[in-house]
Amino acid sequence: MPAATKPTPKSVLISESCLQKRIRELGTQIAADYENQELVLLGVLRGSVLFFADLSRAIFDAQLETPGREVQIRFEFVQLTSYHNSTQPATVELIRGGSNYLKQRHILIIEDIVDTGQTLDFLYEHLSPLNPKTVKVCTLLDKPSQRRVPVTIDYIGFEVPDAFVVGYGLDYAQQYRNLPYIALLESV
């Protein structure tokens, strides 16, 4: 790609300190909601990895602040891919499924961003034969302007405008995942 058109993440949309503050709040809320229960955090690879890592530690820290409150956390991961075409709904495919451990558990899906809602809709269908006790969703970012499928989201970090965002796990052509903040992708 010529340097003149290469998109680069220029403007910070959500700073590192804002991200971390909100993730601590989400951790406190989740630790309270699942007090004394076992909870499977189900990360959707690859975009959720940084959020997953920080949120899981925030849940642990919240427990330390309230002695007697314990949430037993398990880690599970799925990997999905979607093929987009401007007129048709996306085709979502499972590349890697979770383990049998997901059966009849409390599951909290950890997503980087909910955009059209098609990925989440697919994941619900995938999980339903496992008869989970509960399935809830925690997404770092919500882009409601692009929704095609109605989905329920239980925990939202931030709502974002209708723009392509990168960083903190989210990529453009596999780049920028390791930015510690969320940035808008701009063409230069």
Q: Which residues bind ligand XMP (CB under 6 A)?
A: 47, 82, 111-119, 164-166, 170-171
User: Smallest distance from the beta carbon of 142 to ligand XMP, in angstroms?
Assistant: 9
Q: Which is nearer to Mg ion, 47 or 132 (CB)?
A: 47
Q: How far apart are CA 46 and CA 80, in angstroms?
A: 9
User: Smallest distance from the beta carbon of 139 to ligand XMP, in angstroms?
Assistant: 9
Q: Which is nearer to ligand XMP, 91 or 134 (CB)?
A: 91
User: Smallest distance from the beta carbon of 14 to ligand XMP, in angstroms?
Assistant: 12
- In this structure, are residues 165 and 141 in contact, taking their beta carbons and an 8 Å threshold? yes
Residues 6+ apart with CB under 8 A from 154: 108, 136, 137, 138
Q: How far apart are CA 60 and CA 56, in angstroms?
A: 7
Residues 6+ apart with CB under 8 A from 100: none
Q: Which is nearer to ligand XMP, 107 or 114 (CB)?
A: 114
Q: Which is nearer to ligand XMP, 24 or 147 (CB)?
A: 147
| Orientation of helix 16-33 relative to helix 49-65, angle to 10° | 60
User: Smallest distance from the beta carbon of 141 to Mg ion, in angstroms?
Assistant: 10
115 is a catalytic site residue = yes
Q: Which does 170 bind (CB under 5 to 8 A by kind): ligand XMP, Mg ion, none?
A: ligand XMP
Which is catalytic among the residues 54, 112, 115, 142?
115
Q: Which does 63 bind (CB under 5 to 8 A by kind): Mg ion, ligand XMP, none?
A: none
Q: Give me the active site residues, please.
A: 115
